[in-house]
Each structure stands twice: as structure tokens, then as C-alpha cells.
């Protein structure tokens, strides 16, 4: 795939010291959730915002710190399915694909399961799931009979699914390729799918359930936090595809203050990325969420990831293919602790095909600046998006054809998530004026996406909100 090859070029590696996040001082006043504050029907205070200790633990690397290692951009996908749940290929085939494409890290995130122990799969199931004999043939060609373990019962022939431990031995390479143990916690509340990926686990987390969407999200986050506390590991939890099954509203995302991450882009075609006539797109939700969190609830904004959520590895038309969404994380070293620490500081961007060489927010002069790595024949437009203080705070519920209020995210004014500036430069900059609650950048490439997950998709990159920490 030409396009992904371009993306994974060595240019992805950041040139020494080019980019520096300016937010060395964590905000203090803005981190405590207000108890039971009611704004547009939103009840907050389910859980406390991350504590000072949690923030301190993820201390940002400082400007000009002499002995610090030069940080690099590491590219990875934190949402992938295999035969261990409902994906249609062997886990090591999938891992091999990502490693070959130049990814630095990958999390296999099967539904409510870790790739541990013995799991045998009937060859009939392999064939049915993957849509033919080709899957087993490709597997045999790639790994050979010495690697592949099969057994025969009276009724069928079975193949052993490879454990993560064994895949790690073969594929992990220090500083080059890392596998992060993870799962997709797949919960549901009143038929609504509540899916959250937990990365860098020591033990499987079972879905906790909850009386409401917000309670379920919060209690799954709490379970992950307990494991992190008990094991001393950094565990990253992000909320998946909020518009899948129209399960999670912007108000839900704003209200569960323990949550810090969500998927601003998920490459599965079924996740309603663009919303519909009555429901906002994921990006619109992000702006609503961050406006509410910063302005009304005094908590940290949500950071956005792009992921594949890949299930289909044999080119299934309309399927959920690999290679559509990833994050680029700036870290000193390629290990889970460093990557997750960097993500907690917001030192990463999400991409569906646009690569950045530099990304910096200078806290002193309040300038957000990026440098785009151009691909041949492609032009780029950057939008700086934010909400200004004094925005129109009125909201109303959406109404159906009979004028009856509809469930779901309310309607908010156009002041939220306003386009503050646009640039066609490869080195776009935005000096904050001081009245912004936050600013983020979204970069959109010209031309059609080579493997779109929705009609009309263009390759994009999304940077994290800045300017809120003052």
C-alpha cells in the first residue's frame, strides 16, 4: 500500500528538539469536578478529576532539559481485533502487517479477552469467518508448519491461536516495535454498547455494567484505576466510538470526569463518524464536550485518538480494514509507561493519513504551531478550532417530527467549536488571542482517502486542545 508506506517513512521521527509543549505547569484551579452541577440537564460529579498526584506522576518533560533523551514520534494503533474475538485473521498475521508497515506499537484489543492460554479454533470457523481458504493458506505461507499448531478431533481439525507472549518473542524489538497488552472492555447498558479499550493491563478487566451509561463508563474506569494502583502500572483507558449504536452523548462524555480519552476517529465504517440529521458528528461532540468540561465543570479536556478498530484483513468490501487511523506519540523511549505518560500530557496527535513533523504549543507566547510533512501532489488545509469565552451558552433538546424532545446530544450554538483561523501553509500557526477556552487544529489533505471508512473521507490529523491550562 503506497500510501501507508509514505506515512511510515523515517521522517516520522522528530528532528532533535524541534517541538516543545509549553505546558510545564499543570493547571490547579481547573481540575476539581463541581458536585452535581446542572448544565443543560447534565449531572456531573460522578467521579473526581485526576488528582494532583496523578498529574504529577505524568510530569511533562521540561523545555530545554539538558540530559533528557531526544523524544521521538512513535506511531501506533490501539484498537485491533483478531480471531481471539471477532476479527478475521490470526493475531500474528495482523501483528506482522503492522510491523511491516512501520508502526512502532500495537495493541490487540479483543472483546473481553486477553490473548493468553490455549484457544483452539476449528478450521471451518477460520474459513467461515475469513470468507474462504485463503486465510489458512496465507498463514501457512507466512509462518510454516513448524510454527503453526493444529490438532484433529473426531469431528473437525483445529488450529491453536497464538498467545501474545509467543507473538512478543517473535516480533518485539527494543526501540522499534512494541506490543501492548490490552482488551476492548465491551459493556452494555439498556442495549447501548459501551466499549472502552484498556491498554497495558496485567489482568483482564470484566465489564462492570452500571445503571446508566455514565455510571458504566465511570465504574469501568474505576476498575482500571484500581488495577493500575495495585500493580503500579500505567493503564490507558479510552472510550471507543461514542456514536456506535448512538450510545454515548456529548453530555455523557463531558460528565464522566474520570475519563480523559476518546476516539475522535475510528476506522470502522459502522461508527457514525459524521453523525446524522439529528445527531452531531464526533468532532462536533469533541468541541461540545471540551467547552462544557473547561467552562462549566472545571475539569481537564478530553484528548482524542484515531484508531483502526480493524476486524477485516482480507480486503472485505465495506469492512473494517487496518491502516486507517493511528496516533503519533512523542516519547523518550518506546515502552508502554512512556507512551501512556506522554498521552496523559496530551503529547500526541491523531491521524487518518496526515503526518506532522513538528507540533508545539509555546506557553510563553501562546502560539500553536505545526509543520506538516507533505506528500507528493497533496495540499493541506489547517483549521484552528475553539470556543471563545462569552460564547452563546443556550442549548435545546432536538425534537422529532412531532415536536417531541429526542434523546441524545442537545443542540448547541455555533459559537462552540468555531473555526478561528484557516491556513494553507505547511507551517501553520495560531497565536491565541486570550479569549479562547481552548484551541485545537485539524489538518485536512486534498484528494480522496485511499481506503475511506465513510463517503468523501479525506486524510486528516487532529491535535489535542491547548490554551485551556492557564
Nearer to Zn ion, 309 or 469 (CB): 309
| Whole-angstrom distance, CA of residue 438 vs CA of residue 42 | 21
Q: What cell was used for 413?
A: 450554538
DSSP codes, 382-440: EEEEEEETT----EE--B-TTSPBPSSSPEE-TTTTEEEEEE--SS-EEE--S-EEEEE
What element of type H or E holds 443?
strand 436-445
Q: How far is the CB of 207 from Zn ion (least distance, A)?
A: 12
| Whole-angstrom distance, CA of residue 152 vs CA of residue 36 | 60
Q: How far is the CB of 270 from Zn ion (least distance, A)?
A: 9
Question: Is the Cβ–Cβ distance between 398 and 410 less than 8 Å?
Answer: yes
* Listed ranges 96-104, 147-155, 235-243, 384-392: which one lies at the site for Zn ion (CB under 5 A): 235-243
Contacts with Zn ion, 8-47, as mask; x by CB under 5 A: ----------------------------------------
Question: Is the Cβ–Cβ distance between 367 and 431 less than 8 Å?
Answer: yes
Q: How far is the CB of 350 from Zn ion (least distance, A)?
A: 16
Nearer to Zn ion, 159 or 194 (CB): 194
Nearest residue by C-beta to Zn ion? 195
* Listed ranges 64-72, 201-209, 232-240, 283-291: which one lies at the site for Zn ion (CB under 5 A): 232-240
Nearer to Zn ion, 298 or 309 (CB): 309
DSSP 292: I
Residues 354-413 that bind Zn ion (CB under 5 A): none
Nearer to Zn ion, 8 or 240 (CB): 240
398 burial (CB, 10 Å; 0-12 / 13-18 / 19+) is middle
Nearer to Zn ion, 184 or 283 (CB): 184
Nearer to Zn ion, 295 or 308 (CB): 308
Q: How far is the CB of 45 from Zn ion (least distance, A)?
A: 27
Nearer to Zn ion, 200 or 366 (CB): 200
* Listed ranges 236-244, 366-374, 401-409, 442-450: which one lies at the site for Zn ion (CB under 5 A): 236-244
Please report where in the chains the cell 477460520 appears, as a residue.
126
Residues sharing a CB contact under 8 Å with residue 233, sequence separation 6 or more, in sequence order: 200, 201, 202, 227, 336, 337
What is the phi-psi region of residue 17: left when phi exceeds 0, alpha when psi lies from -120 to 50, beta otherwise? left
Q: Does 195 bind Zn ion (CB under 5 A)?
A: yes
Nearer to Zn ion, 271 or 299 (CB): 271
- Alpha-helical segments (H) within 256-365: 282-291, 336-344
Residues 283-312 that bind Zn ion (CB under 5 A): 309
* Listed ranges 143-151, 177-185, 249-257, 427-435: which one lies at the site for Zn ion (CB under 5 A): 177-185
* Listed ranges 187-195, 200-208, 249-257, 363-371: which one lies at the site for Zn ion (CB under 5 A): 187-195
Nearer to Zn ion, 89 or 309 (CB): 309
Question: Is the Cβ–Cβ distance between 445 and 375 less than 8 Å?
Answer: yes
* Listed ranges 140-148, 194-202, 415-423, 461-469: which one lies at the site for Zn ion (CB under 5 A): 194-202
Q: How far is the CB of 184 from Zn ion (least distance, A)?
A: 5
Q: How far is the CB of 85 from Zn ion (least distance, A)?
A: 8
Nearer to Zn ion, 263 or 283 (CB): 263
Q: What cell was used for 165?
A: 507472549
Q: How far is the CB of 309 from Zn ion (least distance, A)?
A: 4
Q: Does 88 bind Zn ion (CB under 5 A)?
A: no
Size of the site for Zn ion (CB under 5 A): 4
Angle subtended by helix axes 134-147 and 91-100, to nearest 10: 90
| Whole-angstrom distance, CA of residue 238 vs CA of residue 220 | 11
| Whole-angstrom distance, CA of residue 248 vs CA of residue 251 | 8
**Interaction site with Zn ion (CB under 5 A):** 184, 195, 240, 309
Amino acid at each position: 500500500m503506497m500510501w501507508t508506506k509514505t506515512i511510515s517513512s523515517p521522517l516520522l521521527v522528530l528532528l532533535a528538539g524541534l517541538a516543545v509543549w509549553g505546558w510545564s505547569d499543570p493547571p490547579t484551579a481547573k481540575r476539581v469536578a463541581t458536585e452535581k452541577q446542572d448544565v443543560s440537564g447534565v449531572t456531573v460529579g460522578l467521579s473526581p478529576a485526576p488528582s494532583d498526584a496523578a498529574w504529577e506522576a505524568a510530569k511533562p518533560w521540561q523545555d530545554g532539559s539538558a540530559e533528557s533523551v531526544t523524544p521521538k514520534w512513535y506511531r501506533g494503533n490501539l484498537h485491533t481485533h483478531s480471531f481471539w474475538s471477532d476479527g478475521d485473521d490470526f493475531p500474528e498475521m495482523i501483528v506482522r502487517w503492522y510491523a511491516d508497515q512501520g508502526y512502532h506499537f500495537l495493541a490487540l484489543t479483543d472483546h473481553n479477552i486477553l490473548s493468553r492460554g490455549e484457544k483452539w479454533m476449528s478450521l471451518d470457523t477460520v474459513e467461515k469467518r475469513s470468507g474462504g481458504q485463503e486465510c489458512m493458506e496465507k498463514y501457512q505461507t507466512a509462518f510454516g508448519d513448524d510454527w503453526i499448531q493444529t490438532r484433529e478431533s473426531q469431528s473437525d481439525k483445529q488450529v491453536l491461536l497464538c498467545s501474545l507472549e509467543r507473538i512478543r518473542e517473535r516480533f518485539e524489538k527494543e526501540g522499534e516495535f512494541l506490543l501492548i497488552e490490552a482488551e476492548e472492555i465491551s459493556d452494555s447498558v439498556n442495549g447501548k454498547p459501551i466499549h472502552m479499550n484498556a491498554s497495558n493491563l496485567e489482568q483482564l478487566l470484566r465489564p462492570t455494567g452500571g445503571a446508566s451509561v455514565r455510571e458504566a463508563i465511570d465504574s469501568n474506569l474505576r476498575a482500571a484505576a484500581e488495577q493500575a494502583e495495585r500493580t503500579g502500572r500505567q493503564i490507558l483507558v479510552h472510550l471507543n466510538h461514542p456514536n456506535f449504536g448512538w450510545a454515548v452523548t456529548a453530555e455523557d462524555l463531558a460528565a464522566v470526569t474520570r475519563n480523559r480519552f476518546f476516539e475522535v476517529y475510528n476506522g470502522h465504517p459502522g461508527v457514525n463518524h459524521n453523525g446524522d440529521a439529528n445527531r452531531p458528528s464526533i468532532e462536533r461532540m469533541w468541541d461540545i464536550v471540551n467547552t462544557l468540561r473547561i467552562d462549566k465543570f472545571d475539569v481537564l479536556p478530553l484528548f482524542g485518538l484515531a484508531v483502526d478498530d480493524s476486524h477485516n484483513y482480507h480486503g472485505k468490501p465495506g469492512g473494517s480494514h487496518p491502516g486507517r487511523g493511528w496516533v503519533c506519540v512523542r516519547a523518550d523511549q518506546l515502552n508502554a509507561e512512556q507512551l501512556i505518560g506522554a498521552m496523559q500530557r496530551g503529547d500526541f496527535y491523531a491521524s487518518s493519513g496526515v503526518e506532522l513533523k513538528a507540533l508545539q504549543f509555546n506557553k510563553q507566547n501562546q502560539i500553536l504551531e505545526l509543520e506538516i510533512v507533505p506528500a507528493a501532489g497533496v495540499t493541506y488545509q489547517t483549521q484552528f478550532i475553539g470556543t471563545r469565552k462569552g460564547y452563546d451558552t443556550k442549548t435545546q433538546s432536538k425534537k422529532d417530527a412531532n415536536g417531541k424532545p429526542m434523546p441524545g446530544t442537545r443542540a448547541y450554538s455555533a459559537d462552540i467549536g468555531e473555526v478561528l483561523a484557516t491556513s494553507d501553509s505547511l507551517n501553520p500557526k495560531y497565536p491565541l488571542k486570550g479569549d479562547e477556552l481552548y484551541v485545537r487544529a485539524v489538518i485536512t489533505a486534498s484528494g480522496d482517502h485511499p481506503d475511506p471508512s465513510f463517503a468523501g473521507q479525506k486524510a486528516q490529523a487532529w491535535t489535542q486542545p491547548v490554551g485551556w491550562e492557564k
